[in-house]
Amino acid sequence: MQESSKSEARERVLTAAERLFGERGYNAVSLRDIAAEVGIKHTSLYHHVPKGKEELYIEVTERRMERYQSGLQTTILLAGSLWLAQLHAAARWLLAQPPMHFGRMMQSDMQAISPEAAERLRIVVYRALLSPLESVLTNALAEQSPSKQRVSILAGMFLSLIEGISNLPDHFIRGSRDELLNVMIDLFVNGIKPQK
Amino acid sequence: MQESSKSEARERVLTAAERLFGERGYNAVSLRDIAAEVGIKHTSLYHHVPKGKEELYIEVTERRMERYQSGLQTTILLAGSLWLAQLHAAARWLLAQPPMHFGRMMQSDMQAISPEAAERLRIVVYRALLSPLESVLTNALAEQSPSKQRVSILAGMFLSLIEGISNLPDHFIRGSRDELLNVMIDLFVNGIKPQK
DNA sequence: GTCTATATGTTGATAGAC
DNA sequence: GTCTATCAACATATAGAC
């Protein structure tokens, strides 16, 4: 154990990068910012990530997405066998995480890296977030034996609704985000009309 | 008419800036990009917008939002008196526009400008997009006499669903975006269950 | 693993000629 | 209104010493 092949210095770099990229996005984070957070000079980063900023971004984004996927799956598993409870649990878990900034990732960060890397990452991101939700929705819609296509679309819309809550400026949130979550789930399950 | 106080050269600058900022976001557009589109040098921009890039961004974003507001209102007005038709018309109109990139605006562009300007713009953006939808939803929920609060939230979620469609990578769109629109409206009105 | 020194490019901005 | 010339600041990246 005295030789951690994935050195712990490198781990500190990745952790800092993941946090900063996640919070501010690709363009708004410089290598100097990341290095400063770790307490080293920015040129030292190249020892850990020889190919530079883009490689760093790709690596930490993949890490992050793996954590999203397993976190979501675990949350759903622990929520019991009722799909409505699973849906609530998934939404609550997602809102408890640092904001995804899904729209920014897709429309800003992906544009700033190479097209090939962007295309790969887009798929990774969608798979990580959609597939756990798709399994829940397949249960929810069991009596309708819905198409995989439709399940995917509904899962995407569920994510959009979650993301919308994060995008709201504070002025529009009188109550807590938990209340919004309930309104959101109600909308998703029953549509516009029933207040409850 | 021979003296257009708002000179037409300035107009060309604003038009180019509006398009580029809208497509790529604040950080990804340089003053040189905008100038090149107009066919002038980037230093000439300062004659039209003395305070520089941020002023330019604020001005064109406000313009854009005014057009969104009036476009939405007109669309809804022309859609007849049934709220469901109004909702469809609003959604179709929004999807026919150049993508809003709502999430990117809120999470990336707003972060790149001064906090005071960002706070003002956030409110402008939300008012422009939400208020026309709120009027439709107030009709839709008439029999429930819903709170203004709830109507605002639902309008925001409607926008999130629209935005979600723009954020989807092409791989996830087998059919047309029009089909997605129908699925989306169905979800918004009836919830998850009815296939239709 | 981290440093210093350095190369190279891009950005937003100003001054002043035409 | 547009230009040229110029600037300071900041970015990513490389080479090599310790």
Within-domain flag for B6: no
Query: Residue B77: inside a domain, yes or no?
Result: yes
DSSP 8-state secondary structure symbol assigned to residue A137: H
> Does B139 contact A at CB distance below 8 Å?
no
Tell whether B183 lies on the interface with A, counting CB pairs under 8 A.
Answer: yes
Strand ranges in B42-195 using DSSP code E only, listed in sequence order: none
Give the model's pLDDT for residue B132. Answer: 98
Nearest to B187 among A157, A163, A169 (CB): A157
Q: What is the pLDDT at residue B40?
A: 98
Helix (H) or strand (E) holding A146: none
Q: By the 8 A CB rule, do A85 and A79 touch? A: yes
Chain segment A126-140, per-residue pLDDT in tens: 899 999 999 999 999
Q: Angle at CA B105, nearest 5°, toward A107 and A34?
A: 70
Can you give the pLDDT at residue A194?
75
Domain span including residue B142: 54-190
Q: Is residue B4 part of a domain?
A: no
Question: Which residue lies nearest D13, CA-to-C1' measured?
Answer: A52
pTM here is: 0.95
Alpha-carbon span B124 to B113, nearest angstrom: 15
Average pLDDT over residues B124-135: 96
Q: Which of A112, A126, A195 sits opposite B169 (nearest CB)?
A: A126
- Please indicate, yes or no, if residue A155 is contained in any of the structural domains: yes
Closest residue in chain A to residue B147, using alpha carbons only: A195
**CB contact set of A180 (below 8 Å; sequence gap of 6+):** A165, A168, A173, B153
Cβ contact, residue pair A150, B183, below 8 Å: yes
- pLDDT category of residue B5 using cuts at 50, 70 and 90: low
Distance, CA of A49 to CA of B62 (rounded, Å): 42
How far does A5 lie from chain B, in Å, by closest CA? 36
Mean pLDDT across A40-60: 98
Is A188 in CB contact (< 8 Å) with chain B? yes
Least confident of A5-9, A119-123, B31-35: A5-9
Provide the percentage of residues in chain A whose pLDDT is more than 90: 84
Q: Which nucleotide is nearest to A7 (CA to C1')?
A: C1
Contact A161 B160 (CB under 8 A): yes
Nearest to B28 among A112, A154, A168 (CB): A112
Of B140, B157, B190, nearest to A164 by CB-CB distance is B157
Whether A142 contacts chain B with CB within 8 A: no
- In whole angstroms, give the CA distance from residue A106 to residue B29: 17
Flag whether B160 is in a domain.
yes
- Tell me if A48 is assigned to some domain: no
Q: How confident is the model at residue A33 (pLDDT cuts 50, 70, 90)?
A: very high
**Are residues A169 and B123, on separate chains, in Cβ contact within 8 Å?**
yes
**Token digits for A165?**
């809550």
**C1' of nucleotide C2: residue with nearest CA:** A44
Which residues in chain A are contacts of B106 at CB distance < 8 A?
A: 103, 167, 169
For residue B152, the tally of other CB atoms under 10 A from its CB is 19
CB A54 within 8 A of CB A114: yes
pLDDT at A195: 63
Torsion of CA A99, A184, A187, A66, to 10 degrees: 40
Q: Model confidence over B45-102: pLDDT tens digits? A: 999 999 999 999 999 999 999 999 999 999 999 999 999 999 999 999 999 999 999 9
Q: Is the CB of A31 under 7 A from strand D?
A: yes
CATH code of B101's domain = 1.10.357
What single string gives the DSSP state of each residue in A31-96? HHHHHHHHTS-GGGHHHH-TT-HHHHHHHHHHHHHHHHHHHHHHHHHHT-S-HHHHHHHHHHHHHH
Residues 49-68 of chain A with CB under 7 A from strand D are 50-54
| H or E element at residue B89 | helix B83-96
Is residue B143 one of the residues assigned to a domain? yes
**Alpha-carbon distances of B145 from A150, B135, B186, rounded to whole Å:** 33, 13, 22
For residue B29, give the nucleotide whose C1' atom is nearest its CA. Answer: C11
Any B CB within 8 A of A106 CB? yes
Q: Identify the pLDDT of residue A2.
A: 37
Total tally of structural domains belonging to chain A: 1
B114 within a domain of the structure (yes/no): yes
In the complex, which nucleotide's C1' lies nearest to the CA atom of residue A11?
C1
